[in-house]
A = this chain, B = another copy of it.
């Protein structure tokens, strides 16, 4: 129970919480204390997730009503320390290589203080003066990174309030949503006797243009935000058409071609292709679609071409990686997350539009703010009130510079290669993707099993006449099924061990396709994650994997006997 001494509720006390000119001491004093507290948090050893269980956390955070009486700031800060900070996930820990989140430079924390202190609301110039200009400058920088238009293009548009060449958004999901909102409007534009999809709604838009439905195409590796946009925009999740990927997790162009052909006939007649979405760094595998080919298809079909580069886009800061993204400069829109490879804190997305007039399609205004003839940034955004989040990547791009980001991202690639080498060298693992952008998919599979399965896969032609392909496939499936269970169990055991963290997903696109394979997923972008740490992580996984394997061995033996493996 919190037995904090009662604080007197009086207006003078409360006013002092707001006034800094007259009571600087408290602010500075608590500020210093907090800097120490944050510093301690990062120094702390121990597990990544804290050992507390979820039911125990239920018990801590179970007050069902707002506290009546005020608490002392120092008591609340100490509560935050013991109840929240202690049980937070150490996402900046170099042993945490499981998600697209990493350590952040410490100056980010300082920048966040500035953002909060200024408390600008980016929606309108009356509440965000210089910060509106900073945001536009940042957008221009990233636009140029992707599109490389001539200098005079940026001179003309960087601070031109009549257009927006991009928006800062709450996250990548909203960046993708913005892109598809624009795409939908372009697919069903205003014309004589029709005010456009935004005014008329989806049903009238389809009817006016004589279509039964509108669809968006993305690969099976597409982020779930694309499907979510299908729901939100009234397009329908079933109209987000999922195209299978090839063995490198890129949209299968042959299958795309066949799907596009069927769109023209039979049940699919009357289908309007709203957008083709390419991915520059899939969430699960980090691979990049063939953007050049997709750009061409989008152009031929008249669809909007959006590239979800939330993960990978920032890697274009490194010249050596740019060939991976070939074709992105033809995209109508590109989304990038600042809290991913720009190493900013949660959360900020950016949507960039190749055509500076496109965002005018979703422009809106009101009487009291964002008036039609205003310069307010809020005219172009889905969100209303928005924080001055742009400060963080803007300042970071200055402090770290393009050169510095280059070094950080080259280091990420090096670490990924190191991990792959360790995995491949160990013997009891199997790499299951081609790691292009710092993401490695692999699984634990004891060496003997891996050899057996490879042997089975290779037995083709006359040499394997004694066993039918179908039966061979059955065997492989059974073994893989077993190894899937093993890896799920391993992942859970690693969570309990808690000295390191990788995530887990299921892929249909490995060399065992179409069988769904459970894979461990490492995202290796923390610059503090070095070779020694990676070695420790692989050792731990190997050790625990072999322990769990003991339980699975008898079942494996039975499968071998059944199939005379």
Contacts and interface: CB of A to CB of B under 8 A. Distances in A.
9 contacts: A17-B107, A17-B400, A28-B36, A64-B158, A67-B401, A76-B399, A108-B116, A170-B386, A232-B232
Query: Of A21, A58, A71, A88, which is in contact with the most chain B CB atoms at under 10 Å from its CB?
Result: A88
Contact of A403 (B69, B80, B87): B69
Given A129-B87, A181-B231, A224-B366, A28 B18 contact: no
Interface stretch (A199-207, A251-259, A295-303, A477-485): A199-207
Interface stretch (A119-127, A322-330, A547-555): A119-127
Nearest to A119: B345
Contact of A383 (B77, B125, B170, B366): B170
A81 B364 CA distance: 33
Contacts of A14: 400, 404, 407-408, 527
Contacts of A84: 118, 130-131, 134, 391
Given A61-B159, A84-B391, A501-B126, A70 B399 contact: yes
A431 to B, nearest CB: 17
Contacts of A227: 364
Given A76-B399, A119-B92, A181-B232, A64 B140 contact: yes
A39 interface: yes
Interface in A29-72: 30-32, 34-39, 41-43, 49-50, 52, 54, 57-58, 60-72
Given A39-B24, A385-B337, A528-B15, A133 B88 contact: no
Given A61-B137, A71-B399, 8 more contacts: A57-B130, A65-B141, A70-B404, A84-B391, A109-B116, A199-B236, A231-B362, A284-B368
Interface string A1-32: 00000010111001101111100101110111
B11 A407 contact: yes
A469 B356 CA distance: 52
B83 A130 contact: yes
A512 interface: no
Interface in A493-515: 501, 503-506
A346 interface: yes
Interface string A521-536: 1000011100000000
A115 interface: yes
Interface string A375-395: 100000011111110010001
A186 B77 CA distance: 42
A145 to B, nearest CB: 6
A151 to B, nearest CB: 6
Nearest to A92: B119
A529 to B, nearest CB: 10
A401 B126 contact: no
Contact of A385 (B104, B120, B184, B339): B339
A473 interface: no
Interface stretch (A95-103, A421-429, A454-462, A538-546): A95-103
A87 B130 contact: yes
A551 to B, nearest CB: 22
A336 interface: no
Nearest to A171: B385
A98 B126 CA distance: 9
Contacts of A420: none
A465 interface: no
A235 interface: yes
Given A26-B106, A42-B20, A119-B345, A236 B201 contact: yes
B69 A120 contact: no
A449 B169 CA distance: 48
A224 B362 CA distance: 13
A118 B388 CA distance: 19
Q: Which 4 A-B pairs have the closest CB atoms?
A: A234-B234, A201-B236, A202-B234, A64-B154
A228 interface: yes
Contacts of A68: 401-403
Interface string A219-237: 0000111011011111111
Contacts of A136: 61
A173 B89 contact: no
Given A130-B88, A231-B181, A237-B199, A66 B145 contact: yes
Contacts of A364: 224, 227-228, 231
B231 A232 contact: no
A112 interface: yes
A268 interface: no
B28 A151 contact: no
A125 B362 CA distance: 35
